[in-house]
Amino acid sequence: MRSHLRIFLTFVLALAAGLACAAGATAETDPLPSWNDGPAKQAILSFVQATTDESSPDFVPPSERIATFDNDGTLWVEHPLYTQLAFALDRVKALAAEHPEWKDQQPLKAVLDGDLKALAAAGEKGLLELVMASHAGMSTAEFEAIVTDWLAKARDPRFKRPYTELTYAPMVELLRYLRANGFKTYIVSGGGIEFMRPMTEAVYGIPPEQVVGSSIKTKYEMQDGKPVLMRLPEVDFIDDKTGKPVGINQFIGRRPVAAFGNSAGDQQMLEWTGAGSGKRLMMLVFHDDAEREYAYGPANGLSDTPFGTFPQSLMEEADKKGWIIISMKKDWARVFAFDK
Amino acid sequence: MRSHLRIFLTFVLALAAGLACAAGATAETDPLPSWNDGPAKQAILSFVQATTDESSPDFVPPSERIATFDNDGTLWVEHPLYTQLAFALDRVKALAAEHPEWKDQQPLKAVLDGDLKALAAAGEKGLLELVMASHAGMSTAEFEAIVTDWLAKARDPRFKRPYTELTYAPMVELLRYLRANGFKTYIVSGGGIEFMRPMTEAVYGIPPEQVVGSSIKTKYEMQDGKPVLMRLPEVDFIDDKTGKPVGINQFIGRRPVAAFGNSAGDQQMLEWTGAGSGKRLMMLVFHDDAEREYAYGPANGLSDTPFGTFPQSLMEEADKKGWIIISMKKDWARVFAFDK
């Protein structure tokens, strides 16, 4: 957790920055130029070929071409901590002056003191309290403005870039390639639905109505004769683990034919996708590239992490079920659009 | 409530019937041939013209062209009672043999005895218990099959037709006309999301992922090594009144530019839609045609009803806010596709 301490010191609140589009290079012949040749790339190309060719026994009608993507660690960086958590920490600090009581109230005190050890000790319950303090109490429109402003100004501590540039170029290419072949691409993430929506269209080409995520409750009310939706400090839905198939069924109402994740939180989404009839594609990004990005598991002997845990049991499950592992190190010719 | 009694006697469980598509007639020149000329039709044509012409000051980019429609009483018939309630009553009767305890348990006893007076006395809580008994305890896939089968066999007591034929031809034309002009059409209904989804694509051209509705909770679990989503007897979300803007924000994440309803349950959806900037279209179907369909309010002195109540206060609100009333009697050249 020591690395989190550095984040406090290194967040650079630069003033000018727009949402940057991680536009991958496109070639006439190769729809996936940021991918190295290998089993992962081949699996994608074969799947798209088989499901879109009308003469193929595996043909999938366009209306059923649903592909779901986890966000943190699958489409953008989730280390040294989730981007939304970095936002929550910044937000608590920004609001501290209005809330003198937070100085004596854990886990908020821990954030203000920069005491990551105490914050870690607060556990999941503490994180939830942090989210409630930083994500609720304003209207949905106000929250959107706050997130948009933060995303424009905040910088990742290692790469010194806006978080919206820390998307994986191969995955952005994959999203585009699938859409070009009639697939509807969705995000299905444990992250907050209203934290993601302000950026998904510009960054991934995914409109707000195709984002599924965790949420807190909102309440419709009139303020000075104008209707607003106020964000309440109350959990509505957690879109993680078994919540992912629940969210997919609730929001989309169809079973995906392809699903992409990178951690234990995605296992049930891949199971649910794979349990449908006909050809399916399930893939997991494995972070094994400390040089260009990060390396964590604990699968395959890599270090353990609370952010995007990939346990050995998931590796075994993938092997058993035929889910394809994307090795960041081997399968990706470049990681970010700004590489090379 | 006496009329409900007749339903029990007149449901004809015919064997053969497919989902029928209420395809409206289309003319080369008139996109809305089932509409009479008048202020309602003119409002629709002007709105579409103004929002889709790039040179217009009211132009709306395609990605923001979201139109939301209530279902019961706006797109299809809701009298003598909601179609989903007819389904629930049939379902309770079909399941009664497996549940001998229901004979002594209200409101289920009332359903089995055909005692609509006792059912009415059970109120909203009773209705909810009815839904739990008839809509929960099976997987989502099983429920979809049950609904599909029922919709194919059940007949409306007055028109002696499948419920899926009792859609309003002018509204189906309107859906098609909006889509032809780049609008994304959504259902936002108090009805059950999984009750509607099996028929919305065939009947309205609205895919499952564009249906927002009320829901019960589901739970992901493994059965014989296969994942299923089990439907629990627990309310998840009520998509009515103030719930409609909440549902719109949760599922779509954008404010609609056009919204269509027919009752007090739609008021907040129309308020929320109208509170956005730029040109908007809000319309309410008013059931004033007892001859071709039904006439109820209690607005304008028509009879009161628990199904699709249109109070005088809503009429006044519409007048104040510039929401356009669609008079079924005056504005619709025909009501159903099978008329004339």
Question: Do B249 and A63 make contact, defined as CB atoms within 8 angstroms?
Answer: no
CA torsion sign for A178, A183, A189, A191 is positive
Least Cα separation, residue A95 to chain B (angstroms)? 26
Specify the pLDDT at position B8: 34
Top residue of B250, B271, B320 to mutate, by most chain A CBs within 10 Å, is B250
Cβ of B218 and A249 within 8 Å?
yes
Chain A CB contacts of B147 below 8 Å:
none
Average pLDDT estimate for B188-203 = 97
Dist CA A296 CA A304 (whole Å): 6
In the DSSP assignment, the letter for residue B29 is S
B238-255 mean pLDDT: 97
Q: Does B27 score more than 60 pLDDT?
A: no
**Measured between CB atoms, does A268 come within 8 Å of chain B?**
yes
Are the beta carbons of A218 and B268 separated by less than 8 Å?
no
Mean pLDDT value across chain A: 91
Q: Does position B276 have pLDDT exceeding 90, yes or no? A: yes
Q: For residue A311, how many other CB atoms are within 10 A of its CB?
A: 15
Q: What is the mean pLDDT of residues A249-269?
A: 98
**Distance (Å, rounded) from C-alpha B45 to C-alpha B178?**
10
Q: Which residue has the tokens 């003191």?
A: A113
Window from A49-53, A94-98, A128-132, B320-324 with minimum mean pLDDT: A128-132
Mean pLDDT, residues A56-64 taken together: 97
Q: What average pLDDT does this structure show over A118-122?
A: 83
A207 and B CB contact within 8 Å: yes
Do the Cβ atoms of A250 and B193 come within 8 Å?
yes
pLDDT exceeding 90 applies to what percent of chain A? 85
Q: Per-residue pLDDT averaged across B14-36, rounded?
A: 56
Mean pLDDT computed over B136-142: 97
Q: Does B214 touch chain A (CB under 8 A)?
A: no
> Does A197 contact chain B (CB < 8 Å)?
yes
Q: Does B271 touch chain A (CB under 8 A)?
A: yes
Instruction: Give the closest of A220, A249, A275 to B268, CB-based.
Output: A220
Q: Does B233 touch chain A (CB under 8 A)?
A: no
Q: Does B251 contact A251 at a Cβ distance shorter than 8 Å?
A: yes
Q: At B61, is the secondary structure helix, strand, or coil?
A: coil
- Cβ contact, residue pair A227, B184, below 8 Å: no
Half-sphere CA count of A270, side-chain side, radius 13 A: 25
Whether residue B193 lies within 8 A of chain A, CB to CB, comes out as yes
Chain A touched by B252 (CB under 8 Å): yes
CA separation, residue A327 to residues A6, A35, A338 (Å): 28, 11, 20
Of the two residues B124 and A95, the one the predictor is more confident about is: A95
Residue-level pLDDT at B24: 38
Cα separation, B272 vs B262, whole angstroms = 15
Q: How buried is B331 (Cβ within 10 angstroms: 0-12 exposed, 13-18 middle, 19+ buried)?
A: buried
Asked if B250 is an interface residue toward chain A (Cβ–Cβ < 8 A), one would say: yes
Q: How many CB pairs under 8 A join A and B?
A: 83
Q: Which of A201, A245, A253 sits opposite B211 (nearest CB)?
A: A253
Record: contact A272-B220, CB cut-off 8 A: yes
* Of B297, B278, B274, B277, the residue nearest B286 (C-alpha): B297
Contact residues on chain B for A196, CB-CB shorter than 8 A? none
Inter-chain CB proximity B220 and A254 less than 8 Å: no
DSSP state of B163: G
Q: What's the gap in Å between the CA of A98 and the closest CA on chain B?
A: 28
Q: What is the pLDDT of residues A174-214, one digit of tens each?
A: 999 999 999 999 999 999 999 999 999 999 999 999 999 99
Nearest chain A alpha carbon to B243: A220
CB < 8 Å to B193, chain A: 250, 253
pLDDT (average), residues B313-330: 98
Question: How confident is residue B160, by pLDDT bands cut at 50, 70 and 90?
Answer: very high
pLDDT digits (tens, 9 = 90+) for A251-260: 999 999 999 9
Query: What b/e sequence results for A134-144 when a residue is b if at least 16 CB atoms lie within 10 Å of its CB, and e otherwise?
Result: bbbeebbeebb
Residue B31's alpha-carbon distances to B94, B178, B181, B310, B337, in angstroms, are 43, 10, 11, 29, 15
Whether residue B253 and residue A227 make contact (CB cut-off 8 A), yes or no, is no
CB contact under 8 A, A63 and B218: no
Reading the block at residue A53, the tokens are 């060719």
Residue pair B67/B183 in contact (Cβ under 8 Å)? The answer is yes
Query: Would you state the pLDDT for residue A28?
Result: 60
A229 and B246 within 8 Å at the Cβ level: the answer is: yes
Residue A59 has pLDDT above 90, yes or no: yes
Please give the backbone phi and psi of residue A69, each rounded to the nearest 5 degrees, phi first. -125, 130
Which candidate from B211, B246, B252 shows the least CB-CB separation from A220?
Answer: B246
pTM: 0.91
Spell out which residues of chain B touch residue A249, defining contact as CB-CB under 8 Å.
140, 218, 229
Nearest CA in chain B to A225: B275
Per CB-CB distance under 8 Å, the chain B contacts of A194 are 253
Look at A248-257, B95-104, B179-188, B315-324 and tell me which has the smallest mean pLDDT. B95-104
Segment B277-304 shows an average pLDDT of 98
Q: Is B226 on the interface with A (CB under 8 A)?
A: yes
Is the pLDDT confidence value at B12 over 80? Answer: no
* Band of pLDDT at residue A22, cut at 50, 70 and 90: very low
How many helices and strands (H and E) does chain B possess? 13, 7
Contact status, residue B318 vs residue B262, Cβ threshold 8 Å: no
% of chain B residues with pLDDT over 70: 92
B215 and chain A: CB distance < 8 Å anywhere? yes
At position B208, the amino acid (one-letter code) is P
Confidence of residue A16 (pLDDT cuts 50, 70, 90): very low
Name the band, by pLDDT with cuts 50, 70 and 90, for residue B126. Answer: confident
Q: With a cut of 90, say whether residue A128 has pLDDT above it.
A: no
Q: How far apart are alpha carbons A183 and A65 in whole angstroms?
A: 5
Give pLDDT, residue A23: 35
Is the pLDDT confidence value at A264 over 90? yes
B197:A275 CB<8 A: no
Residue B251 distance to chain A (closest CA, Å) = 6
Which residues in chain B are closer than 8 Å to A253, comparing Cβ atoms? 193-194, 197, 208-209, 211
Question: Is the Cβ of B80 closer than 8 Å to some Cβ of chain A?
Answer: no
Among B202, B172, B166, smallest CA distance to B339 is for B166
Which residues does residue B229 pair with via DSSP β-bridges, in sequence order?
Answer: B220
Tens-place pLDDT, residues A277-319 = 999 999 999 999 999 999 999 999 999 999 999 999 999 999 9
CB contact at 8 A, B86 and B7? yes
Tokens representing residue B70 in the block: 């209530």
Contact A251 B252 (CB under 8 A): no
Set of chain B residues whose Cβ sits within 8 Å of the Cβ of A245: 220, 227, 229
The predicted pLDDT at position A126 comes to 86
The reported pLDDT for the residue numbered B28 is 60
Residues ≥6 apart with Cβ < 8 Å to A140 = A194, A218, A228, A229, A230, A231, B249
A277 — contact with chain B (CB < 8 Å)? no
Q: What is the 3-state secondary structure (H, E, C) of chain A?
A: CHHHHHHHHHCCCCCCCCCCCCCCCCCCCCCCCCECCCHHHHHHHHHHHHHHCCCCCCCCCHHHCEEEECCECCCECCCCCCHHHHHHHHHHHHHHHHCHHHHHCCCHHHHHHCCHHHHHHCHHHHHHHHHHHHHCCCEHHHHHHHHHHHHHHCCCCCCCCCHHHCEEHHHHHHHHHHHHCCCEEEEEEEEEHHHHHHHHHHHHCCCHHHEEEEEEEEEEEEECCEEEEEEEEEEEECCCCCHHHHHHHHHCCCCCCEEEECCHHHHHHHHHHHCCCCCCEEEEEECECCCCCCECCEHHHCCCCCCCCECHHHHHHHHHHCCEEEEHHHHECCCECCCC
Q: Which residues 123-162 on chain A approach chain B with CB closer than 8 angstroms?
A: 140
Stretch B286-312: mean pLDDT: 97
Instruction: Calculate mean pLDDT across residues A112-137.
Output: 87
